[in-house]
Amino acid sequence: MRIGIDVGGTFTDLICASNHNMNIKKLKVFSTRPNIEIGVLDGIKKLIGTDLSKIETIIHGSTVATNAILERKGARVALIVTKGFKDILEIQREDRENIYDLFYKKSETLVSRDMIFELEERIDKNGEIVKPLNKDEIQKVIYWLSKEKIKSISISFIHSYMNPLHEQEVEKAIKKNLDDCYISVSSTIMPEFREYERTSTVAINSYVSSILERYINNIGHELRSLGFKGDFYVMQSNGGMIPYISVGQHACRTLLSGPAGGVTGAVDIAQRVGVKDIISFDVGGTSADACLVTNGEAKVTTSKKIDNLPVSVPMVNIESIAAGGGSIAWVDEGGMLKVGPESAGADPGPACYGRGGIQPTITDAFMVLGLIRGNKFIGGDIKLDRVKAINAMEKIAKKIDKSCFEIAEGIVSIANNNMAQAIRLISIERGYDPRKFTLISFGGAGSLHAVYVAEKLDITTILVPPNAGVFSAYGLLVADFKRDYVQSQPSLLEDTSISEIYEICENLKGKAVSEIQTYNIPINECSYNFSIDICYYGQSFFVNVPIDIPSLTKEGKEQIKLEFYKIYKNRYNYFFSSEKIQLNNYRLSANYSDSSSSFFKNAREKKNKISSKCDQEERKYEGKIILQGKNQKCIFIEGRESVNFGSKLAGPVIIEDLDATIFIPPQWSATKDNYENIIIRREGE
């Protein structure tokens, strides 16, 4: 058996599957912030009981690290830098997020200036030692670290990506003199040039390491006490998992672990149905997340920011906005209706939850419009109160002289516009036409918004997978082990020999093999994928170009050049064949699929056993919803299992799954395929 656990801002989702009979159990419980592990463990007990001895693997995705940064509740961090670079985190970059904002302020740094220590040392850009370390200064820094009782320490020296010797010496001295410290070293976390991004990344790693490791270790300990003897993994932002024992060292790699699970699941579903180009669309309680997938591969970036602070480790390129079921609606001073970014979360939650919330949210809006029925939410496990939703809506309706129904439709419309804009950012603004993509919609609220968002982008096909409401947890079930490595070695292509490229790649593979062996993962069964960040000489930014080592030695540098031209032209619609090309960062992605995840990925679900002659009317009801200010008849169907294969459902129709609600409006229709996906298409397409 294999369990996926995804902790969100409102709900914690759990899904358990057996590879013997594909029997799936799933559960949604309220997240229990700040003590998230309580909700996780209670959910596991409710889902499968207190005996975990038969569980083979548990994969966990959470927002613990991200929330620590957003709420500034991480550890107290000390940073050790090269003398002269004390203000590196304060200076940041010259760019501004909004150049017209007269009150713009840079994000607050995670390390206070009095906790940044300078050391006399210098290594040049070629890795040569210009100025040796001052050993006496190291001892002075260690004295102050001990006096201040600092347990989280970052080390980031200039050009350490070319020669990590000085960082390693300082790390060794600290470990020798101080106990129980979390030490993050930039040449280990991110051996790349660009000192600000590298220092920011290593500071973030130290800031969240102790919190995340303590949280994961607490869960691990409780799981063992319940008889769990299997493997415990944590999802990374790159769409792959790592053993929980390494989380403390690589905490910054888990910042988007929950949303990345949803993308992994979407890629798996797309492969099953034979679709290569998709946009994953995940709407939960606090946010909406979108990701572009082309040719079966999710886009990965090393240029993400969390609260405007750079984190330069590989992450699935997800665009997130604060628009989820719990996003609060409000009226600004000018009388304009706004939605978010503040969320009601799980406590007190939307007004209709009856847990103390009094402000209207997107969930309340759908409740008022009749698209969510109070006695059918999450299979009826949670009873919702429509009267409380209407009362909350009327509070802001009176401020702008509108009815609560007009406000509800306005809230949904604003949210849909914001979500569509997030998809434009990852598609149109990067040269991709969303009309050529299939929208895979999931999350508890994703399929309430999906068609509206698709209409704004002229997308004609939407796929809603089974287990849509717990789909990010499902994605964890099919995740592989994945670990990324990088080495900066800037040089012009024309001055770099194939043997030099090959040597750098082999060194990266050697690092991978050394680490992966410690996880008891069979090295020979891993796949190793190499790539290089390449740009034209003089450019500041680059594109990532995959390279095939076996063919590289035969075809030479011309292969690299042609592939660079191809990718560059696809991104910018032109290329220069006469300009010099510069190689920058060499990257390696090591992947491994264990027998359990391979089963789930390769399994092809059998056709639903329900006869095509089943009596669908038994779970089919007629009700009313409000659309465009008018009452309209709508068919409500309890669960997709009541939908016959091949039958066509013309909107308006609402399918009430156990964990999600699917809305098919007028001018759209839906069918169910052999994998139990609900396929929604615009009429006439």
Q: Where are the beta strands (DSSP E) in 459-595?
A: 461-464, 481-492, 527-536, 543-547, 581-592
pLDDT reading at 617 higher than 60: no
Q: What is the pLDDT of residue 616?
A: 45
pLDDT reading at 407 higher than 90: yes
Q: What is the pLDDT of residue 606?
A: 42
Tell me the pTM.
Answer: 0.88
Average pLDDT over residues 157-168: 96
Write out the H or E segment, with its range, that includes residue 374.
none
Q: Does domain 74-208 have CATH number 3.40.1360?
A: yes
Of 91, 29, 25, the closest CA to residue 54 belongs to: 25
The domains of the chain are located at 74-208, 481-592
Residue-wise pLDDT for 631-681, tens only, equals 999 999 988 888 888 789 998 999 998 889 999 999 999 999 988 999 999
Residues whose CB falls within 8 Å of the CB of residue 3, separated by 6 or more in sequence, listed in order = 14, 15, 16, 44, 47, 48, 55, 57, 58, 59
**Buried b vs exposed e over 483-509: b needs ≥16 C-beta within 10 Å?**
bbbbbbbeeebeebeeeebeebbeebb
Residues of the chain with pLDDT > 70, as a percent, come to: 94
Of 215, 256, 270, 241, the closest CA to residue 39 belongs to: 215
Residue-wise pLDDT for 367-383, tens only, equals 999 999 877 666 666 78
Q: Tally Cβ neighbours within 10 Å of residue 352.
A: 30
Backbone dihedral angles phi then psi of residue 2, each to the nearest 5 degrees: -135, 130
Residue 460 — pLDDT band, cuts 50, 70, 90? very high
Residue 559 is encoded by which pair of tokens? 């292969």
**CA atoms of 162 and 356, how far apart (whole Å):** 56
Q: What is the pLDDT of residue 605?
A: 46
Q: What is the pLDDT of residue 604?
A: 43
Q: What is the pLDDT of residue 14?
A: 93
Q: Under CATH, to which class is 481-592 assigned?
A: alpha beta
pLDDT reading at 319 higher than 50: yes
